[in-house]
Chains A and B, each alone.
Chain A
């Protein structure tokens, strides 16, 4: 169901967590809320779930104003960063919790639990305790538990934040496929721009309690509305008032129209990507992101003088 947030404000003492936030998320969409810590993204999610009461504003789910409803009656699924597993219950009992609360028939619960265990690839682990699972398995269990009562919306608060890099990458891809299967409106909070852009159809960038920009991953990257968004969704070089992506710093063997000279300070090989740290002739530093093939072609090494063209610099009139 569609989620609408209308003029939501929330303060914790002096700290402004949410400053008049308005957001609309369409039915069945997978949206990432991206921002640094303290940007208000988790608070936003908790307001939707009813775990925080906003100081002002309305929360509307599926056309129904639920601002006054307690979390217990909102019908949302919530997944926490640290799993929030019920440690004294087995995997199956964890998943069944929301169904038992609703007093569903025993048979129905058993069927639904089996179905969800298959969906999150935990077949055969039904009788384990959370302590006997890996982090990735625990988070999949938490997801199954949240999905079991068929929530109107699914809210994920840094769901992969506590996992190691390999597992994170797997779970991201898996979450995207899962969303294609389940199609529940999903908001997913993260501070990792790559994660947001890889998983979500729509990304909301937050900063200091405000929404800076909403768009597809591509829009945010290519047409950032301001300096903050540009810096947050990808690496940037700052040259005076202009910002340029490192892959728009072209390194050429020969000077050409619009190029300037630069000294190679350092060449860092990261596999397919090579980072070249440069000092321009006016003394400013930039770094360029080039492919391994290009680096080999140019035979780049420290101390070398190359020609550099700054393509597509971007300026923002005001932040």
Chain B
């Protein structure tokens, strides 16, 4: 206050009337605070409304419609032979795609981050291709390459292996679409942990294999875990690519998402909703596992 007075021209007459310091103190911050509160509430409302309309409501509807007529029809739908087959086929696809893409993803990440070779950038971009290409196109590409008249198709026919319209093709489609996740999760972690710990292990006499198992792998394990979770979710839910290559033979080449579609198209609402609920529950389980792991991570590291 005194500094302000000292600066004012003494010939300028009396100071203009201003609100008392106390009033301005009371008005200023509280007005700012209420603004902040309004915008905060607005943001929350929009975000929650968005989630509610697009996610919670539709998924909730599926659950509600499923159990609308009690548990008996649900049980009947769950235990229908084609449903059981679809369930196990989906788990099989996950069980093959996840380990394959985990090994590939970790190897690719190490190659991209730790090694210098010609084509490294190309490889890094190639890993992302499944993100960019529509799954339907992936399916068509597989049909072109491995189908009856495809490049490898004739040869595969001659040795008696059927890829397209059969489980091997579905595995390939699933592996393809879920390929980038582990690599994309592990690459930044690998960059962040740096090379010093690995070099330290080497100078302490550890072989490359020992360094990998005892130093590199523990350092990137959380990246791998998240990658595996995302890979599983994607492999489980994949529809487009698998749909094209499967031929959709119920009881044979129908994974769970294909089965949902099949039941829906055949006006079997209970069958469709029940299978959808099973899919949703599996996905939720994966999310729960991820959250539990994330919590443990905070406790340990």
Contacts and interface: CB of A to CB of B under 8 A. Distances in A.
* A, B: real partners: yes
Contacts of A87: 197, 219, 301
Interface stretch (B59-67, B198-206, B231-239, B257-265): B198-206
A102 interface: yes
A73 interface: yes
5 contacts: A49-B203, A86-B197, A98-B204, A101-B204, A101-B205
Interface string B212-235: 001100110000000000000000
B301 A80 contact: no
Contact of B205 (A49, A51, A83, A149): A149
B219 to A, nearest CB: 7
B196 interface: yes
Contacts of B35: none
B210 A101 contact: yes
Given A72-B207, A87-B301, A88-B219, A80 B200 contact: yes
Given A101-B205, A101-B210, A131-B301, A84 B199 contact: yes
B205 A98 contact: yes
A88 B221 CA distance: 10
B201 A97 contact: yes
A246 interface: no
Contacts, number: 70
Interface string A184-205: 0000000000000000000000
Contacts of A101: 204-206, 210
Interface in A62-107: 70-78, 80, 82-88, 97-98, 101-102
Given A82-B196, A101-B210, A149 B301 contact: no
B200 A145 contact: yes
A161 to B, nearest CB: 13
A84 B196 contact: yes
Interface of B: 194, 196-197, 199-208, 210, 214-215, 218-219, 301
B267 to A, nearest CB: 55
A149 B207 CA distance: 15
A71 B200 contact: no
Contacts of A83: 196
A80 B215 contact: no
- State the 3 A-B residue pairs at the shortest beta-carbon distance, nearest first: A84-B196, A98-B204, A84-B200
A75 B202 CA distance: 10
A77 B201 contact: no
Contact of B202 (A71, A85, A142): A71
- Secondary structure class of chain B's binding surface, majority of residues: helix
B199 A71 contact: yes
Contacts of B197: 84-87
Contacts of A129: 301
B215 A86 contact: yes
Contacts of B207: 72
Given A72-B207, A97-B204, A88 B199 contact: no
Contacts of A146: 200, 203-204
B219 A76 contact: no
Given A80-B196, A101-B204, 5 more contacts: A72-B202, A84-B196, A86-B218, A97-B204, A142-B200
A80 B199 contact: yes
A102 B210 CA distance: 12
Interface in A4-60: 49-51
A80 B201 CA distance: 12
A156 to B, nearest CB: 12
B205 A78 contact: no
A122 to B, nearest CB: 17
Nearest to B210: A101
Nearest to A94: B200
A230 to B, nearest CB: 34
B301 A78 contact: no
B203 A74 contact: yes
Contacts of B200: 78, 80, 84, 86, 142, 145-146
Contacts of A98: 204-205
Contacts of A50: 202-203
Contact of A76 (B196, B203, B215): B203
B174 to A, nearest CB: 32
Given A88-B218, A98-B205, A149-B205, A51 B199 contact: yes
Interface in A99-119: 101-102
B159 to A, nearest CB: 44
B248 to A, nearest CB: 46
Contacts of B204: 77, 97-98, 101, 145-146, 148-149
A75 B204 CA distance: 7
B110 to A, nearest CB: 18
Nearest to B218: A88
A146 to B, nearest CB: 8
B116 to A, nearest CB: 11
B203 A77 contact: yes
Contact of B203 (A78, A85, A102, A131): A78
A167 B204 CA distance: 26
B202 A51 contact: yes
Contacts of A49: 203
Contacts of A142: 200
Nearest to B193: A87
A70 B207 CA distance: 10
A101 B211 CA distance: 10
B299 to A, nearest CB: 12
A142 B215 CA distance: 15
